[in-house]
Copies of this chain bind each other. A is one copy, B any other.
């Protein structure tokens, strides 16, 4: 038979699934002998029974009764006992902390009788009636669903009547009156009287916690964060201790190290004669934790000892909530504390040096998102800065520019070379051109999943959203700060997307020391952060199974990626080799009449492309370079249909002569125009339809490699065919490529081992990977296209049009272009890896979509059995780190 209630003595920190995070840590502290108020936890299993069946498990009432009795015995008083009441708090506590869940009801056990007992025991009728007032207010709001405003109106009216703004000026008489009015509010709006039976209070509060698991906000949050809906929440029932019972009492929070820098020391805040909610309300100012030493040395010393013990025990930075009740210290909560990216790296190596953890553990304490943050340029710490607002850190980076309020102006100013910051209350799809033109985006509304945030992250553009201290008036073109400063179009702002801070004027930007180090411009011991990053990433390199390559199209990018640790090129696009002045050749190719002319156009490109490949292969000498044959439809190299049509129509309307060339061109553009070019004549289809096109590229690669090899180099080209959906396509291209490789080998007398493989980026390719592997030396997943085609949406068209809405309603937690959608697209990847390898056990498998540099996706690729990931040069260190971390994931884990 399941056990639905655990005393704190019966639990430990590893029982988070059953007891929730808060309960498990309270149990852990209890068993460490720390001063935790006694209490018990109702399990997530009880919650799940309730949610499935609609009623609590029948054993629950009795189990709660038994544990309550034990608690009463420990405390020497009964719940709600008239002359000396035991009071308890009821708090939710799920495995993952979750906004939207019912938070807390304090002071359960008070009613018209026991409030008098409490008054006597505490020696303070005001305290007792204030506690009662708080109970009815919290209970009414969170358990009985009464709109909180009703209570606030009464409370504010009472203060106004008294001519004060300070709660403490209300005396017990005032509070008695408020309690009466509160009870009336409950009766009126909840349709039932406030329950006076303490056990009924407790049971209703527990049920309210259960119910809150399925509240709209909680459900939405779970959908967004992909937290399973069947975890359920635990409920913590804890004996009340009071920080608001006098000046010898108080409440505080503490960190065992500086969560900002990682430095060791004492960090925290303390507020005398207060409860936790008062700290949040921010009515009075807290003091530094160090001041507690003066206020109450014994409590301070005990806290210091406990913090040392906790850090030693959790082997990590802990954050702590505590209360002092009449000079007696009580621990209300602890957990492993949040920290900044820099602190995470520094703390991890500190803990290794202190012998608390080993390097495996240190590697797991940091992550790629943190490393990515550290690689953005940032504002100079030392510079004078005028902070004017703090919003949501929606998309990292540091951006400086002139304020503009609309897309058109953004585009115009950017076109003439100005840096601009697009400022809007919130953005919508109409703002896309402006967002593209701007250095950064600033909004006063919306959080991390707002349109602005989602789109900016998708573009890799700095964004601060929800800076609600700013009053933005787009039609008046003004921003007004909290202190009344008025900012107009053209004024300069600096926004920090990593912290969410907004500064007035231009703040100097300094490069990331981590990047400076990778680039070889900074010594490893010049900065403790750099030293920590270096130590951990090198350790990750030793651990990882996944190779890390880069996506680079030029020798400059290739060389940089190599400095960043890239082990070859996983994707060298060749589109740019047809652009610029070479467009003319493509036009000739397209307009050619007959194969002779086509061939001439292609022949003219050969020496140019050969030189391109010489550069790239030389930069990656000794490492593999995967060259993707040309992918985009040829009309991308021609003028836009609408623009050209308008140009010619206008010329005609004005009676000007239209040249034959323009007419021919328009005809070609019309002929090649596609309704859906992404699903058109591109990739391998071009190779099969346009004679000589792929042959040109293969020959250029082969000749470049032969030339380098003659010069004593070690070129390692790999030829990759895009958009293959059927093995027959690949067979035909492969046959031709092998013929050309053999020809060049014969002509030059040099043989270069060249693999021939394919992208897997069309769903059908994944479905028939077992066949395709017959003709492929390697697979490289094009997860961008695979996502586009698997979901049936084009990133350009839809990301700005509805992704924020989709995230808002919980279809995605994150854009599937940012993090691989493991369930849908990932399943295609897994099937293709398995079936491809079943056909050809030596098949090399990598990924060259942008997901190759996304932390969570890297774990997926590790577990899917890929050989390497390939990502943009700047993401290479992130991928190295996460690939190392992935090798430490528990078997079968999915990186959560």
Residues 785-797 of chain A: 1 if any B CB is under 8 Å from the residue's CB, otherwise 0?
A: 1001111111011
Tell me the residues in window 786-828 of chain A with beta carbons closer than 8 Å to chain B beta carbons: 788-794, 796-798, 801-802, 805-806, 809-812, 821, 823-825, 827-828
- 11 examples of A-B residue contacts, CB within 8 angstroms: A676-B797, A679-B789, A679-B798, A680-B793, A681-B802, A685-B798, A688-B806, A726-B811, A761-B792, A762-B790, A763-B789
Indicate if the CB atoms of A828 and B763 lie closer than 8 Å. Answer: yes
- Which of the four size classes fits the interface of chain A? 35 or more
Which residues of B lie under 8 Å from residue A789 when comparing CB positions?
679, 763, 789-790, 792
Shortest Cβ distance from A689 into chain B, in angstroms? 5
Indicate if the CB atoms of A802 and B645 lie closer than 8 Å. Answer: no
> What separation, in Å, do the CA atoms of A223 and B680 have in the docked complex?
23
Copies in the complex: 2
Chain A interface, DSSP helix/strand/loop, else mixed? helix
Q: Does A337 contact B (CB under 8 A)?
A: no
Residues 679-705 of chain A: 1 if any B CB is under 8 Å from the residue's CB, otherwise 0?
A: 111000100110000000000000000
Indicate if the CB atoms of B679 and A794 lie closer than 8 Å. Answer: yes
Indicate if the CB atoms of B679 and A678 lie closer than 8 Å. Answer: yes
Which residues of B lie under 8 Å from residue A728 when comparing CB positions?
223, 809-811
Which residues of B lie under 8 Å from residue A785 when comparing CB positions?
792
> What separation, in Å, do the CA atoms of A791 and B680 have in the docked complex?
11
Q: Does A495 contact B (CB under 8 A)?
A: no
Which residues of B lie under 8 Å from residue A828 when comparing CB positions?
763, 767
Given the known interface contacts A649-B646, A762-B790, A790-B762, the answer about A824 and B725 at a Cβ–Cβ threshold of 8 Å is yes
Which residues of B lie under 8 Å from residue A796 when comparing CB positions?
675-676
Indicate if the CB atoms of A792 and B805 lie closer than 8 Å. Answer: no
Residue of B nearest to A771 (CB): B823
Indicate if the CB atoms of B645 and A792 lie closer than 8 Å. Answer: no
Q: Does A677 contact B (CB under 8 A)?
A: yes
Residues 733-773 of chain A: 1 if any B CB is under 8 Å from the residue's CB, otherwise 0?
A: 00000000000000000000000000001111001100100
Residue of B nearest to A732 (CB): B809
Shortest Cβ distance from A116 into chain B, in angstroms? 50
Which residues of B lie under 8 Å from residue A685 when comparing CB positions?
793, 798, 802
Which residues of B lie under 8 Å from residue A153 when comparing CB positions?
none
Indicate if the CB atoms of B790 and A767 lie closer than 8 Å. Answer: yes
Q: Does A896 contact B (CB under 8 A)?
A: no
Indicate if the CB atoms of B792 and A688 lie closer than 8 Å. Answer: no
| Central interface residue in A761, A771, A785, A821, by most chain B CB within 10 Å | A821
Which residues of B lie under 8 Å from residue A679 when comparing CB positions?
676, 678-679, 788-789, 792-794, 797-798
Residue of B nearest to A650 (CB): B653
Which residues of B lie under 8 Å from residue A671 when comparing CB positions?
429-430
Q: Does A729 contact B (CB under 8 A)?
A: yes
Known contacts A674-B797, A689-B801, A767-B790; 16 additional CB pairs below 8 A are: A642-B642, A642-B646, A646-B646, A674-B794, A679-B792, A679-B794, A679-B797, A680-B794, A726-B811, A728-B810, A732-B811, A761-B792, A763-B791, A764-B824, A785-B792, A789-B789
